[in-house]
């Protein structure tokens, strides 16, 4: 991959640390970076196309908002991974779904309005997929803020 421009690096810093909570966030970023909103949007699209940016979205504290969240895993035969992952991804409360190189090869997080609702969703997934799902709700959260400073002079 080619080096990112100064604009792209500064934009990545803003996206990670100072995303404007506004009806026109990209206009505000453009003003801050002294460029056009179109340049911001084109830079974001370019970085998405190159795989530098995977997604732009809020990170919410589900528990603080009154929801129940759990990390789940299951063992799925290689020839059924796409099928089972598709069933999991259809669930509205699934926020992450990863394939891992491990005996337990599918891992996902599920957020629901209550523990009972999460259990119902897991039971339905187990029935539909014919796969046992292990639910592992957090007993202590160790979440830390991660930000990769991009606007230095070293280049990528």
User: Each residue of 52-91: pLDDT tens digit?
Assistant: 898 888 777 788 888 999 999 999 999 999 999 999 999 9
Burial state string for 142-151 with b = 16 or more CB within 10 A and e = fewer than 16: eeeeeeeebe
Q: At what angle do helices 6-17 and 25-33 cross, to 10 degrees?
A: 130
- Taking only Cα atoms into account, the Rg of the chain, rounded to an integer number of angstroms, comes to 20
> Averaged over 98-102, what is the pLDDT?
93
CA dist., res. 46 & res. 97, Å (int): 25
98: β partners = 107
User: What are the domain boundaries of the chain?
Assistant: 6-49, 68-136
Dihedral, CA of residue 130, residue 132, residue 137 and residue 142, to nearest 10: -100
Nearest residue to 73 via CA among 20, 40, 47, 110: 110
Whether the per-residue pLDDT at 152 is higher than 80: the answer is no
In the chain, the percentage of residues whose pLDDT exceeds 70 is 93
Which of 87-91, 111-115, 128-132, 140-144 is predicted with the least confidence, judged by mean pLDDT?
140-144
Q: What is the mean pLDDT of residues 117-140?
A: 96
For tokens 């732009």, the residue is 56
Compute φ and ψ for 74, nearest 5 degrees: -160, 160
CATH topology assigned to domain 68-136: Alpha-Beta Plaits (3.30.70)
Sheet holding 94-99, edge to edge: 94-99, 106-112, 68-74, 133-136
**Local confidence band at 2 (pLDDT 50, 70, 90 cut-offs):** low
């Amino acid at each position: 991959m080619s080096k990112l421009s100064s604009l792209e690096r500064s934009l990545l810093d803003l996206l990670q640390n100072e995303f404007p909570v506004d009806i026109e966030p990209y206009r505000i970023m453009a003003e801050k970076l002294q460029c056009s909103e179109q340049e911001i949007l084109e830079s974001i699209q370019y970085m998405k196309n190159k795989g530098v940016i995977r997604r732009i979205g809020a990170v919410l504290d589900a528990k603080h908002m009154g929801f129940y969240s759990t990390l789940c895993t299951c063992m799925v035969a290689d020839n059924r991974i796409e099928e089972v992952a598709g069933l999991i991804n259809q669930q509205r409360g699934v926020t992450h779904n990863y394939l891992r190189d491990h005996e337990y090869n599918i891992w996902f997080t599920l957020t629901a309005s209550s523990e009972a609702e999460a259990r119902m969703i897991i039971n339905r997934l187990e029935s539909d997929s014919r796969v046992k799902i292990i639910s592992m709700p957090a007993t202590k959260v160790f979440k830390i803020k991660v930000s990769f400073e991009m606007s230095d002079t070293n280049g990528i």
